[in-house]
Chains A and B, each alone.
Chain A
Amino acid sequence: MQLIYEKSTPGRRGIKLPASDVPAAAALPSALLRKENAGLAEVSELDLVRHFTNLSRRNFSVDTNFYPLGSCTMKYNAKVLENAASLFAPFHPMTALLPGGVEFCQGTLGMLYDLGQLLADITGMDEVTTQPLAGAHGEMTGIMLVSAYHAAKGNKAKKKYVVVPDSSHGTNPASAAIAGYEIITVPTASYGDMDLELFKAAMTDEVAAVMMTCPNTLGLFNPHIKEISDIAHSHDALMYYDGANLNAIMGKVKPGDVGFDVIHVNLHKTFGTPHGGGGPGSGPVGVKKALIPFLPQPRIVMDADGKLLLETENKGTIGRTANFFGNFGVMAKAYAYIIMLGREGLIQVSEQAVLNANYIKEKLKAYYDLPYDMICMHECVFSASKQLEHGVHAIDIAKFLIDKGYHPPTVYFPMIVKEAIMIEPTETESKGAMDAFIEVMIEAAQTAISNPQALHDAPLTMPISRLDETKAAREQNVCCIG
């Protein structure tokens, strides 16, 4: 398909702007002006609409295709959430930051405060900041809080390391690195969780925090989690919970109850807000009491009369991790989702997410190698190792699924599983939709034996076939020269 710039005609105008009702200003000195207008598109509105409508049709999405992308929780995004978020479009964030401005923003500040309270209950934390703009941004914020905590105790120089299991999301070590830590990686044991003995050996008083997801990226709940957190605490290391997999445990177990001190929540995963083709997400961070003094500013607090205020002068704060109050529009959707589903609804979300993942796991384990064969939580991880005997890789199965109208599961992650295929159906898929997916997965396994070339050739039904990624990386053509 042509680029929008290739559809442009010099001089063609798009949207009509409001006419000016004021005199034209004197021109600026030419040294301050650009020599020529930026080469933006020059298309009619209909051409524009056709272009982006046709582009959209080149995407798989939750609304058009089953999208069992493990670790990403691609659940249905309720339409009413979009309507709810649009109610807040006109509110300028600076209004709240003006002296006395909170009076004019009690609705929006109140919603953020309430969202924090609801998330604190769900996660077992004492307070939540809504400022972080994505999951990884929440991780970074959380580990900075850990650093401030140790610094306040005079231990900043001593605390050098953050411990992560080798199954962790890549963002965990990357976020800890920004907060100034070196990383210790602990291998996974045969039972599917961080090796407890190796963990004990890694723990010293120089460890600042242990970052974990629970259930982990294999979809398994770590039965030793309390022991791990007790060991961490005995070294004055804090426990960080990566909330990417929270969809499995709502109402069942609270990270705060099992010893976690800091948590980020991915509102775009667990709380039903759309993923936007890569974002925006939202990554509120919950903390235990001991970390409250370090929370980012402005911090929303409630006075004795129930009025919302902004705290901006706290000496202990880590500062500011984003310009304003976070991705408010995303949080409005998540808040609406939580109050709509309520207590029973969220419990059922976790129950059916876990039910669906186990159903797929049982149905497929005769066809695909299941390295950790036990009850899983919200996702299950297979390996294409059986298929590899016929020269078929996980990526070939993924491309076959595309031809059949399915967005592939996450492949090659977690890295500790060879040829990993990580399936997360979420609670919103019907049994019928999953049965159809299971049939196609079985067909892929059978085709791997009968006709491996067919899998290597896939996909054949898309606008393009497999792309040359090496050429892209070598040529670095990331902008249309025009």
Chain B
Amino acid sequence: MNESHYCPHTPEEIAEMLSVIGVASVEDLFAPIPAELRAKTFNLPSGMSEFETFDRMKAIAGDNTQGVTNFIGGGFYDHIIPAVVDHLSGRAEFYTAYTPYQPECSQGTLQALFEYQTAICRLTGLDVSNASLYDGGTACAEAAMMALRVTGRNKIVVDGCVSPFSRQVLKTYLFNQDVEVIEIAPQAGLLGRAELAALLDDSVAAVLVQNPNFFGSIEDFTALADQVHAKGALLIGSVYPIALGMLKSPGETGIDIAVGDGQSLGNPLSFGGPSFGFIAAKKSYIRNMPGRIVGETVDRNGKRGYVLTLQAREQHIKRHKATSNICSNQGLCALRGLIFLSSVGKEGLADLARLNRDKAEYAKAQLSRIPGVTVLPSITFNEFTLSLPKNAAGVVVALLGSGIAAGVPLGQYYKGSENCLVVTVTEKRTKKEIDTFAKELEVALCN
């Protein structure tokens, strides 16, 4: 009996194939593995049908608390996903293909990635982009390494308001590279500009900032870009793509390399992945970009087409001298991002950004009315920081019990901020949910 799923041969076919090969049994094909090295145990459970498998997976998903109302962000956001995103990215011609090494039979993926790169360039106001990176954190690290290559310097200055996860990923990536990473302590949820100005000299390769930052604060980094450039360094900006429906673009700001996490563009929360990282830069830095890049060209008849280009930067050609070790990226998630952006559209993204800010400002007003609650007085988009009259972690646990994920307590990430809570309000949160949250928070604070 055929024990396995998806292995199609009948016993007769196997016998025929073995006779072509000239061996007596399938086991003979494993003769090159010395007998003493063969596996002595293999203790996996026996298999099951796809129906039983699906039931098991449902049971596992059921072991998580269901139906939580999300006011948490921290880098991943609960946004709408138009139905077309699942349906079109679910075309098997997209999701069961691989990296488009053979352009003639991969124009679907290649053109989509070219359109994706275009969307990222237009969103960020920069000139060039690539076919995606892994996530927002690794994109920060890749951008920093890119700046090290561009400048030939070995110091990276990081705003402490950048996501603590991105900062940790950056440090892990750079740990073995003889690079100094300096963090600037946040000043009331904003970049510590005085400390940065004192540090900024011509040994700095790049300054990394985030907008809006982990506290939710929005800043104008236009003057900073000039200061950074005056020292011959690059400014890297980690940005939230939904906010770019409204906020000054990295290009307008003078940012040299923009990065971010693309999860909010049509990718589900999915317990943290897959999402994608995006990167865009000024054109002069294209040869230092990491990862795959799709470029336009023509075929033998002069017809427009798309290919993977500037491959001489990449690991399969340059090996240890490559600009990055990336091979597989997050192509399908980037495609979802493109479909999302194309469905929402030019005016729609601006509307969506406005909707996020309106909901967040409403929530900010409701929550800050609770006695003892104050709000960090910075300009914000859809996330803001509250100061509670008690430890925020305990409050969050209490509210989770009533089905509300109230936000991210800052104490884990910033010493002395134990009472602070970062609250996120996307377009999906209704007035009613916000009002309920305000009521529940007030109750939790009284207990």
- Answer whether residue A35 sits at the interface, using C-beta atoms and an 8 A cutoff: yes
B138 on the A face (CB < 8 A):
yes
**CA separation between A459 and B247, bound complex, in Å?**
47
Of the candidates B97, B319, B348, the one whose C-beta lies within 8 Å of that of A17 is: B348
Query: Which of A220, A276, A464 has a CB less than 8 Å from the CB of B331?
Result: A276
Q: Which listed residue (A59, A175, A223, A252) contacts B108, Cβ 8 A? A: A59
Say whether, besides A67-B98, A121-B43, A223-B34, A279 and B29 are in contact (CB < 8 Å). no
Which residues of A sit under 8 angstroms from B58, Cβ to Cβ?
87
Chain B residues within an 8 Å CB radius of A336: 53-54, 56-57
Binds A, one of B189-197, B227-235, B268-276, B367-375: B268-276
Within 8 A of B (CB), among A415-471: 427-431, 459, 462-469, 471
Please, which residues of chain B bring their CB within 8 A of the CB of A134? Answer: 134, 326-329
A343 located at the interface, meaning its Cβ lies under 8 Å from any Cβ of chain B in the complex: yes
| Segment at the interface with B among A49-57, A230-238, A285-293, A384-392 | A49-57
CB contacts (< 8 Å) of B264 on chain A: these are none
Q: Which of B1-60 contact A (CB under 8 A)?
A: 3-9, 13-14, 16-18, 20-23, 26, 28-34, 36-50, 53-54, 56-60
Q: Are B173 and A78 in contact (CB under 8 A)?
A: no
Chain B residue nearest to A31 (CB atoms) is B220
The interface residues of chain B lying within 8 Å CB-to-CB of A212 are none
Instruction: State whether A3 and B118 are in contact (beta carbons under 8 Å apart), knowing that A62-B96, A83-B54 are contacts in the complex.
Output: yes
A399 to B331, CA, bound (A): 24
- In the complex, the answer to whether B346 meets A39 with C-beta atoms within 8 Å is yes
Query: Which of A144, A276, A340 is the one whose CB lies under 8 Å from B50?
Result: A340
Alpha-carbon separation in the docked complex, A464 to B305 (Å)? 7
Contact B315 A110 (CB under 8 A): no
Give CA–CA (A321, B172) in the complex, Å: 6
B331 engages A277 (CB within 8 Å): yes
- A330 contacts B274, C-beta separation under 8 Å: yes
Which of B68-76, B149-157, B199-207 is the interface stretch? Answer: B68-76
Inter-chain contact A431/B305, CB cutoff 8 Å? no
B420 at the interface (CB under 8 A from A): no
A362 contacts the other chain (Cβ, under 8 Å)?
yes
Q: Is the CB of B56 within 8 A of A339?
A: yes
Q: In the complex, which residues 344-372 of chain A have their Cβ closer than 8 Å to any Cβ of chain B? A: 344-349, 351-352, 354-356, 358-359, 362-363
Residues A76 and B6 in contact, CB atoms below 8 Å apart: yes
What residues on B are CB-neighbors of A136 within 8 Å?
Answer: 315, 325-328
Q: Please name the residue on chain B nearest to A462 by beta carbon.
A: B104
List of A residues within 8 angstroms of B213 by Cβ = none
Cα–Cα distance between A140 and B117 once the two chains are bound (Å): 26
Collect the chain A residues with CB atoms within 8 Å of residue B92's CB: 61-64
* A252-B30 in contact (CB<8A): yes
Residues of chain B within 8 A (CB-CB) of A478 are 114, 117, 128-130, 286, 293-296, 309
Q: What string of 1s and 0s marks CB contacts (under 8 Å) between A398-411 and chain B? A: 11001000011010
Interface residues of B in 91-140 (CB under 8 A from A): 91-109, 111-115, 117-119, 121-123, 125, 127-132, 134-138
Answer whether residue B333 sits at the interface, using C-beta atoms and an 8 A cutoff: yes
Digitize B422-445: 1 where CB-to-A-CB distance is under 8 Å, 0 elsewhere: 000001101110100000000000
A330 touching B273 by the CB < 8 A rule?
yes
Q: Would you call A393 an interface residue if the criterion is a C-beta within 8 Å of the partner chain's C-beta atoms?
A: no
Contacts of A74 in B (CB 8 A): 96, 98
**Is B412 part of the binding interface, using a Cβ–Cβ cutoff of 8 Å?**
yes
Does A176 make an interface contact (CB < 8 A)? yes
Chain B residues near A118 (CB, 8 Å)?
A: 44
Asked if A34 is at the interface (CB within 8 A of a chain B CB), the reply is yes
Closest A residue to B430 by beta carbon equals A21
A174, A257, A408 — most chain B CB neighbours (10 Å): A174
- Interface hits, A149-186 → B, CB 8 Å: 169-171, 173-183
Q: Does any Cβ of B come within 8 Å of A94's Cβ?
A: yes
Q: How far does the alpha carbon of A468 sit from the alpha carbon of B309 in the complex, in Å?
A: 10
| Contact assessment for B343 and A253 in the assembled complex, using a CB-CB cutoff below 8 Å | no
Q: Does B186 contact A (CB under 8 A)?
A: no
User: Which residues in A have their C-beta under 8 angstroms from that of B268?
Assistant: 86, 89-90, 329
**CB-based contact B18/A63 at 8 Å:** no
A299 contacts chain B at the CB level, 8 A cutoff: no
Contacts of A321 in B (CB 8 A): 138, 169, 172-173
Q: Pick the contact of A5 from B115, B178, B335 — CB < 8 Å?
A: B115
> Is B301 an interface residue, CB under 8 A from the partner?
yes
> Is A25 in contact with B296, judged by CB distance below 8 angstroms?
no
Contact A482 to B122, CB < 8 A, known contacts A278-B292, A329-B270, A466-B300: yes
B123 / chain A contacts, CB cutoff of 8 Å: 38, 40
A332 x B57 contact (CB < 8 A): yes
Contacts of A139 in B (CB 8 A): 325
The residue in chain A whose Cβ has the minimal distance to the Cβ of B176 is A180
Besides the known contacts A34-B252, A55-B108, A476-B128, 19 further A-B residue pairs in the complex with CB atoms under 8 A apart? A31-B248, A32-B248, A39-B346, A45-B84, A60-B97, A63-B96, A72-B98, A83-B54, A100-B396, A257-B37, A318-B172, A319-B175, A321-B173, A343-B43, A429-B8, A430-B8, A463-B107, A465-B303, A479-B127
23 pairs from A and B in contact (CB 8 Å cutoff): A15-B345, A17-B348, A55-B107, A55-B112, A59-B107, A69-B98, A80-B54, A226-B36, A252-B30, A252-B33, A277-B106, A279-B274, A279-B328, A322-B273, A329-B271, A336-B57, A343-B42, A352-B9, A356-B17, A427-B6, A431-B8, A463-B107, A476-B295
Top 9 A-B pairs ranked by shortest CB distance?
Answer: A342-B47, A324-B272, A180-B176, A107-B63, A278-B331, A93-B272, A276-B332, A319-B172, A280-B274
